[in-house]
Chains A and B, each alone.
Chain A
């Protein structure tokens, strides 16, 4: 009797245990993944503590620790079943997503964008069931394409994101990154020196934002979209439409108390339009100045001051412009959009005011203070151009080596490789001015190796071909032209290059 009772109890206990283990295995897998993610994060923290800038071998070793997470909870993770099961699977996907995102970040830092792209593409498929993770993976793919210098693919991927994922309601004091994508595309084209394409993308951006407004949006999101429409119109110089949009946005903001902070956007647009269109820009500039005092925490505050400063500069009111540039550098020195450019423009204004000693030291401080900016690429050339303008050819040539040294240092500091092509183009210009054939060939080879198919490389190939010809090295010149045709067959200049090659029997 006792034995039977014991046996029944044993069976009951085992049954209960199995019931518990049913979801237990899956929950344990999630837990295991979280534990591995925690360990990987600790490994990374320790690696960074040991060396602030770990080498690529260390970075890839740390990445391996993150890769273990995915292996511990292999997918596919279908979000189905009861609420508890669904929650468990979402937790699994998000843990893997977080680990893969770190892996992608490390791969990019280690200059292994190929690994980053592979991980991003895999995650997009595996995490398709969870929109948040799939979206994150799509963004990771954009970064990977950029790391691989596959800019057209990056743009295509960004447009895929826009087509697939609608923007989400804004988080507190923030904006869904989806809304930033059109602007990122434009900036990418601009950084590549493709101004026409950038204008095309601006029009695309406008179309995209207007398309969003065709659907009913919550006021917070609608205001952010309208602000984007407004900015895009301003960039396209569609003043009338921008003003119309500013008024609509103002009405929306005024009727929704929680959106009052967006009044800065309206004021910025109105100030900019007035300063640009009105014969007397003073009222517009006053509006822009007020933004910096009325909305000091708004991201538009430094932009408004910059806008006011450039307006002053263009109208020849150099002292006023200088004051504003200095104010930006004092109050918003860490604003990447305007601070580097403000420092560069300050140097220009100082030069125009006749204070060359100060202007030179300002130009020389730009690459030191803002090494990851386009202003850093322009500043050394500004010094050379000053000497050339003054007819001091020897002084300019003496400055070449210093400028080249600066660009070398900037390339070394450019982890992402985003600005390196621009710095190399500037170096090529200096070598060309100094008629240094070795320098020109060296830079061209560097660009072919590091940034093949980059628009700047196309420009460098053509200039190097011209220079080689002028140095009497026709064979090298033709080789550069052939490479140009091979890498840029659809370039508008391809026909001309083909003709030239034919003429020279290439």
Chain B
């Protein structure tokens, strides 16, 4: 198994150049749910929208935020929960589906359905477990490690740069963790594997390819990081000085660029995995 930056670069370049709607569609479905959710958030004055959003907010313990305009300060948290759910549970089926559609470019048999569905079913469990593990790791990182990292950076670098660098370190740390689990769905959709082997292979490949993967994951993630930065740093300004509803526009933009970044990252990962292990 060979892993080089040249392969990584050509995989990322190829992924960025080779956008195909059918391969992106599973990600788009998840994005569509996020858009619908955000649209509902702007309609909470209607009983039907409130009837749908209130139980969600209640589920994650944020019912007290269902007031105007404070809700728009909370909607990013709610979207975060929804995004985590979508990419973990339906994503356990949809991400492998997108990967299979990519592999179907070279394997026509896959596009016929029979082989695809068995590989899809087989990929569900390891992808779900990887998703849950990733969610747990990111939550742990944000809750426990990020305050330490932020204050350590702030102790060395003065404000406001210290604050910016702290935020960047926490965000990049999240990427670094996610990359370790990125290859689980890629390994899980390969032929002649089983859930446990796929999970183990995926993790092992994630560790080995970490240096050559993280750069393109960050590269594709830059637009979403920029939007996230604007939202986190200027969210208060939007809430108090502009229309609070504008927050949902920014979040919609964030969800869109994050969805595209995820698609391109998985596309590049699938290409790198194939070039490293050979077509199966």
Contacts and interface: CB of A to CB of B under 8 A. Distances in A.
Interface of A: 17-18, 20-25, 27-28, 30-32, 34-35, 37-38, 84, 91
20 contacts: A17-B51, A17-B52, A20-B52, A20-B54, A20-B55, A21-B47, A21-B50, A22-B51, A24-B48, A24-B52, A25-B47, A25-B51, A28-B50, A28-B51, A30-B67, A31-B71, A35-B45, A35-B69, A84-B63, A91-B67
Contacts of A32: 45
Nearest to B56: A20
Contacts of B55: 20
A30 B45 CA distance: 8
The 8 tightest CB contacts between A and B, nearest first, are: A24-B51, A21-B51, A20-B51, A34-B68, A25-B47, A28-B50, A32-B45, A24-B50
Interface string B32-72: 00000000000011111111101100000001001111010
Contacts of B49: 28
A21 B45 contact: no
A463 B50 CA distance: 67
B272 to A, nearest CB: 40
A28 B52 contact: no
A35 B67 CA distance: 8
B52 A31 contact: no
A24 to B, nearest CB: 3
Contacts of A28: 44-47, 49-51
A28 B54 CA distance: 10
A31 B44 contact: yes
Which residue, of A18, A21, A37, A84, has the highest number of chain B Cβ atoms within 10 A?
A21
Interface string B52-94: 1011000000010011110100000000000000000000000
A35 B54 contact: no
Contacts of A31: 44-45, 50, 66-68, 71
Interface in B11-36: none
B48 to A, nearest CB: 6
Contacts of B63: 84
Given A25-B51, A28-B45, A91-B67, 17 more contacts: A17-B51, A17-B52, A20-B52, A21-B47, A22-B51, A23-B54, A24-B48, A25-B47, A27-B50, A28-B46, A30-B67, A31-B45, A31-B68, A31-B71, A34-B67, A37-B68, A84-B63
Given A20-B55, A27-B54, A38 B48 contact: no
A12 B44 CA distance: 23
A31 B51 CA distance: 12
Contacts of B46: 28
Nearest to B64: A87
Most buried by A among B50, B52, B63, B244: B50
Nearest to B67: A34
A34 to B, nearest CB: 4
A91 B66 CA distance: 11
Contacts of B54: 20, 23-24, 27
A24 B47 contact: yes
Contacts of B50: 21, 24-25, 27-28, 31
Contacts of B67: 30-31, 34, 91
Interface string B189-219: 0000000000000000000000000000000
Nearest to B63: A84
A285 to B, nearest CB: 51
A38 B69 contact: yes
A33 B51 CA distance: 17
Contacts of A24: 47-48, 50-52, 54
Contacts of A34: 67-69
Contacts of A30: 67
B69 to A, nearest CB: 6
Contacts of B244: 38
B66 A27 contact: yes
Contacts of B71: 31
A32 B71 CA distance: 12
A22, A24, A37 — most chain B CB neighbours (10 Å): A24
Nearest to B49: A28
B37 to A, nearest CB: 14
Nearest to A28: B50
Contacts of A22: 51
A117 B12 CA distance: 71
> Which of the listed residues B51, B54, B71 has the most CB atoms from chain A within 10 Å of its own CB?
B51
Nearest to A72: B45
A287 B44 CA distance: 61
Nearest to B71: A31
Contacts of A18: 51
A21 B66 contact: no
Contacts of A20: 51-52, 54-55
A27 B67 CA distance: 9
Nearest to B45: A32
Contacts of B47: 21, 24-25, 28
A311 B50 CA distance: 66
A35 B244 CA distance: 10
Nearest to A24: B51
Nearest to B57: A27
A91 B67 CA distance: 9
B51 A35 contact: no
Nearest to B44: A31
Contacts of A23: 54
A238 to B, nearest CB: 51
A21 B48 contact: yes
A225 to B, nearest CB: 35
Interface string B106-124: 0000000000000000000
B53 to A, nearest CB: 9
B60 to A, nearest CB: 15
A156 B54 CA distance: 45
Nearest to A91: B67
Nearest to B47: A25
A385 to B, nearest CB: 54
Contacts of A38: 68-69, 244
Nearest to A20: B51
A105 to B, nearest CB: 21
